[in-house]
Structure 1
Amino acid sequence: MDHFLYRNGHLHAEDVAIAEIAEAVGTPFYVYSTATLERHYRLFKDALEGIDNTVCYAMKANSNQAVLTLLAGLGAGMDVVSGGEYARAIAAGCPPEKIVFSGVGKTRAEMEMALRGGVRQFNVESEPEMRALSQVASDLGVTAPITIRVNPDVDARTHEKIATGKSENKFGIPIARAVEVYAEAARLPGLEVVGIDVHIGSQLVELEPFEQAYRKVADLTRTLRAEGHDIRRLDLGGGLGIPYARSNSAPPLPTEYGALIKACVGDLDVEVEIEPGRLIAGNAGLLVTQVIYVKEGEGRDFLILDAAMNDLIRPAMYGAYHDIDPVVETSPGTDQRPYDIVGPVCESGDTFARARDMPPLAAGDLVAFRSAGAYGAVMASEYNTRPLIPEILVKDDQFAVIRARPTFDEMINRDILPKWL
């Protein structure tokens, strides 16, 4: 569910007309719904009611400070994967004891940053990282709480570029080697083993892969406890998918996901951590863009938009699908025709959809990409010297710019000419 609905024939974000925002800030822009963000976070908290739990928002999905501050205010922890994300989480008011530091390539500088500032745990991904963290923590005279990410070799049945739990993926240690790696962790100075971490991928639309992974983690918990390790937290990752296409069947609900977690690990007397990102932010955002031209081609017609692949790279990178709707509601029975929907960037890959049925549109019309709140603005670039587009947050009948569009001068003046030019 989201809070982007037609009222009197015009698309609204909560109680604000999309056209009103476009008039104020220009296009393209991202717009996020406070009510949707709040609702989706609470769905996960409610789903885990009855067991000790921490919901850490995977902020790589959308790391705007307003979004982070909103979620931190609701009690969310943060899952960070870089020093920059750690700094953002702290700046947004997230308590350090609610920050989980994930990622396969943590640097020593990032480790020191989190150890000095405070952190809930490091999700360690390899033995070299574990030894480096031991040295950094020992040099600082502190103890680093750790889980070790195990790779359960489970096929998440998602896109190959966002699958993380197969043996050929770069993430975690093979679960078959977990006992010996945990034994080394227990011997290393400066480390405290607190639990196990697993994450098998993103945009999962069925529960069976989660169940396979979580039952393996439950068995490993019992084995490691028998070896003398104090396993008191299970970080079960995130990855629950969202419905990008209204024509597809809906992915499992957080309530079903929570019930599965309880069935798999509820008898282990552990604190459960989960790290949803896409499901919290994805359907909470739209990308709004304007038609520049309607172009008749050889055997196909094109809608050329003022948004491009640098603004929303998911279709070019993953072949990702987004529903695309006119901001002015189409009358029932209106004939539609297929268009290739493209942006102005000088790349053939700057294509959002091919042969997509759309109602008649003209230059100046606004369209909205649904489910664009996750992995949209955070993956954007200034390719072709196109400014990063504004981000807008709506609450009820109010809206605010939470990231402004830079001017060309601001972009150009970031470059520094060497003295010999």
Structure 2
Amino acid sequence: MFSPLAPRWMGRLLFPGMPIMIASSDSHAVETVFDGVDPHALAQAVGTPCYVYSAATIRHRIASLATALRSRPATLCYAVKANPSFAVLQLMAAEGVGADIVSEGEMWRALRAGIPAGRIVFSGVGKQDREILAALDAGISRFNVESADELASLQRLASERGRVAHAAVRVNPDVDALTHAKISTGKSENKFGVSIDEARRWFAGSGSLSHVRLDGLHVHIGSQIVDVAPFRLAIGRVGDLWRELVAAGHAIRSIDVGGGLGVRYRASDRAVDMAGYVSAIREALTGFDGALLLEPGRYLVAEAGVLLTRVLRVKQGDERQFLVLDAAMNDLARPSLYDAWHDIVPLHETPRSMQVYDVVGPVCETGDTFAREREMEACRPGDLVAILGAGAYGASMASTYNSRPLAAEVMVENGRYAVVRRRQTFDEMIAGEQPANDWQIA
């Protein structure tokens, strides 16, 4: 285990739970390591920008969540959308974690990585017929159904396949998750799930479903939630519905309480109160002896990842000083999409004076900004910088905007590293494109 000491200029450890940065007693002689891997050597070998994931930190998060739930064991179904890296999914499979998917592609990734179909649940408001058929053929555990039209489609397609699909109704409890509006999913105005009244009607008419066994409840109210109160309210409403349905003679074999557990994106952030969260589940579902499912995504991987990037130049404007990085909004979209905060740490070998920068990328958009008026140690061209908390919704939301190839992804552990996705080449970037030579009439 590495020393828990961090340089005075760090303010926090890069991978919480698995200290990865150490400093000598001499504050001017600092050694920086990521799980025993020198990031400077790593950047030299792999290039920048690149994502770096700590396998040990992901395992630590899985274990800590399982420990918190020991009084009420649950099946963890990792939300693949957070980080669909094949290596990350293989790690999840090795740790016995299932998958929460929202597309056929995510199912394909999960199955290929070794996650059993019996530990996969399928969420999402826009499941296509071909995706439902593929999931039925694969034998996934459960469909989280989000509309009457989807329920009818599932009945029709399962009948065609001669299968019985297990389904849970996704309840929209009309609860404000107190998070960013773009990642809130549990209010009546959001597109997700159905009202409690509609859920009641579904169960009342479930006897007519010959090929769908409607025997579960599902709720997910949003992402990056750090206040337990919305969880308590939403799960409480689902718990009340469960008791009501059982009293009416319906068998409820599973309750999926979703994900959304918030993480620390800056040193001053407070983490979600895990004890309070587990208490909310236990209190709302007292007496429930069926399968309990959780869908953590960001919570397992966000703080296990950093985006390594180099300073291209320092530009002094009339009003602001700009720190221009070789990473851009196409690599990490969260700041431009959500005005999201990520701690940004220069990886200097010796301390420097503090400066205030607007931290930006080279993409031709003013929105290509990682931080505004951010105080950090002074930087020079060629310096290495780490953008923290980038393990979730980083590479998974990346694009090739401005014809910038996708960044490399690397996994580190115990002094070793492995490239788990090589940097995209220009040829690979245009591999699916072709000249307009093959003209046809539709």
Matched, 1:370 2:383: no
Question: 2:400 matched to 1:382?
Answer: yes
Matched, 1:292 2:312: yes
Match of 2:22 in 1: 7
1:62-81 residue pairs with structure 2 within 5 A? 62-81=83-102
Check if 1:207 corresponds to 2:217: no
Q: Given the two structures, how large is their TM-score scaled by the length of structure 2? A: 0.92
Q: Give CA-to-partner distance per residue, 1:172-206, whole Å, 9 cap, x none.
A: 00113221122233322210022100000000011
What letter corresponds to residue 411 of structure 1 in structure 2?
M
SS at match of 2:279: helix
1:297-332 CA distance string (max 9 Å, x none): 01110000000000000000000000000112563x
Q: For 1:182, what is the secondary structure of its paired residue? A: helix
Q: 1:154-303 residue pairs with structure 2 within 5 A? A: 154-248=175-269, 250-303=270-323
Which is worse superposed, 177-186 or 12-21? 177-186
**CA 1:420 to 1:122, structure 2 compared with 1: closer, same or farther past 3 Å?**
closer
What is the aligned partner in structure 2 of residue 36 from structure 1?
A: 57
CA RMSD in angstroms, aligned pairs only: 1.4
Query: How many equivalent residue pairs?
Result: 418
Residue 353 and residue 191 in structure 1: after superposition, are their counterparts in 2 closer, same or farther (change >3 A)?
Answer: same
Structure 2 vs 1, CA of residues 4 and 22 (structure 1 numbering), >3 Å: closer, same or farther?
Answer: farther
> Shift of residue 46 of structure 1?
1.4
Cα drift, residue 415 of structure 1 = 1.3
Q: State the alpha-carbon separation in 2 of the partners of residues 158 and 246 from structure 1.
A: 18
**Offset at 1:50?**
3.0
Task: Check the 8 A contact 1:2/1:284 in 2, yes or no.
Answer: no
* Matching residue of 1:358: 376
Deviation per residue, 1:33-72 (Å, 9 max, x gap): 0110001111221122132420111111001010000111
**Structure 1 residue 359: deviation in Å?**
1.2
Distance 2:424 2:266 in 1: 32
Match of 1:415 in 2: 433
Which residue of 1 is the match for residue 13 of structure 2?
Answer: none
- Paired position in structure 1 for 2:7: none
* 1:268 Cα deviation after fit: 2.1
Distance 2:44 2:17 in 1: 23
Aligned to 1:59: 80
User: Residue deviations 1:200-252, cap 9 Å, x none?
Assistant: 0000011000000111111100111122211021100000100101023x222
Change in CA separation of 1:318 and 1:329 when aligned onto 2, cut-off 3 Å: farther
Q: What code does the residue aligned with 1:417 have?
A: P
Matched with 2:366 is 348
Using a 3 Å threshold, how does the CA distance of structure 1 residues 292 and 43 change in structure 2: closer, same or farther? same
Please show how residues 42-53 of structure 1 align to structure 2 within 5 Å: 42-53=63-74
Look up the match of 2:346. Answer: 326
Looking at structure 1, the residues matched to 68 and 34 of structure 2 have their Cα atoms a distance apart, in angstroms, of: 26
4+ runs of 1 displaced by more than 4 Å? Answer: none
Residue identity opposite 2:203 in structure 1: Y
**TM-score, normalization: structure 1?**
0.97
Amino acid at match of 1:89: A
SS at match of 2:359: strand
- CA–CA distance in 1 between the matches of 2:384 and 2:244? 57
Change over 3 Å in CA distance of 1:302–1:232 after alignment to 2: same
After alignment, is 4-13 or 32-41 more displaced? 4-13
Contact 2:66/2:73, CA 8 A, preserved across alignment: no
Deviations 1:251-280 (A, max 9, x none): 224343223211221322232100000010
Q: Following the alignment from structure 2 to structure 1, what is the Cα–Cα distance between the partners of residues 248 and 39? A: 58
* Residue ranges of structure 2 left out of the alignment (5+ in a row): 1-15, 24-29
Q: Percent identity, aligned pairs only?
A: 48
CA offsets, 1:144-173, max 9 Å, x none?
A: 000000000001000000000000000000
> Letter of the aligned partner of 1:6 in structure 2?
M
Q: Secondary structure at the match of 1:294?
A: strand
